């Protein structure tokens, strides 16, 4: 080693300069419960049973989602639409009970793909909340069916669309996508 290297102090000073640089660097941490990151348009989060434009449930209880489900998380009971319920259900047959076992679900999205009526979706903007009780495991229609006052849409499908959405949001225009954390 040269004298400079054996003196050890210049090397220490270099190292200290590097760590000091990191000290003042912007932190990459996203403080999760307060700040949530936008996970992209194809993220598969909590389930939703869509309604159509008139507010009628799209699901016709064909059972294809339950068949497609590799984890066998979905179960349903079909019922026939009565007279006067045309405003509630789009098809003549509907799901009287539609349950997803959230401990079994692996969020693979095969139910979405199997659905012929575009009724079941996995939201890209919401997680299944943490639960600790047995009776919170199985989600029924009360939790799954879409709320017409707070409809679920997916606006940005590609990176470019996401970027233009960011621009829109920066201009203060209303969007349906949860704001992206700026890391």
Q: Residue numbers of the site for another protein (CB under 8 A)?
A: 9, 12, 15-16, 18-20, 22-23, 25, 27-29, 31
Q: 113-130 burial, b if ≥16 CB within 10 A, otherwise e?
A: ebbebebbbbbbbeebee
* Cβ distance to another protein smaller for residue 25 or 134: 25
* Cβ distance to another protein smaller for residue 11 or 106: 11
User: Cβ of 51: how many Cβ atoms within 10 Å?
Assistant: 21
Query: Is 95 marked as a binding-site residue?
Result: no
Rg of the chain over Cα atoms, rounded to whole angstroms, equals 25
First to last CA, the chain: 43
Query: Is 59 marked as a binding-site residue?
Result: yes
C-beta of 23: minimal distance to another protein in Å? 5
8-state DSSP, 90: S
- The binding site for [4Fe-4S] cluster comprises 59, 62, 65, 69, 105, 108, 111, 115
Question: Residues within the annotated binding site?
Answer: 59, 62, 65, 69, 105, 108, 111, 115
């Amino acid at each position: 080693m040269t004298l400079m290297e054996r003196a050890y102090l210049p090397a220490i000073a270099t190292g200290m300069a590097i760590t000091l640089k990191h000290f003042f660097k912007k932190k990459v941490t996203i403080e999760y419960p307060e700040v949530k990151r936008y996970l992209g348009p194809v993220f598969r989060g909590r389930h939703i049973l869509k309604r159509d434009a008139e507010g009628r449930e799209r699901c016709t209880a064909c059972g294809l989602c339950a068949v497609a489900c590799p984890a066998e998380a979905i179960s349903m009971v079909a019922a026939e639409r009565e007279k006067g319920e045309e405003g509630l259900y789009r098809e003549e047959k509907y799901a009287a009970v539609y349950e997803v076992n959230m401990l079994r679900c692996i969020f693979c999205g095969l139910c979405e793909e199997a659905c012929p009526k575009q009724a079941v979706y996995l939201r890209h903007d919401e997680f299944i909340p943490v639960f600790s009780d047995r009776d919170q495991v199985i989600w029924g229609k009360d939790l799954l069916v879409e709320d017409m006052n707070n409809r679920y849409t997916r606006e940005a499908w590609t990176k470019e669309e996401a970027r233009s959405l960011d621009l829109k949001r920066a201009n203060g225009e209303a969007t349906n996508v949860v704001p992206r954390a700026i890391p």
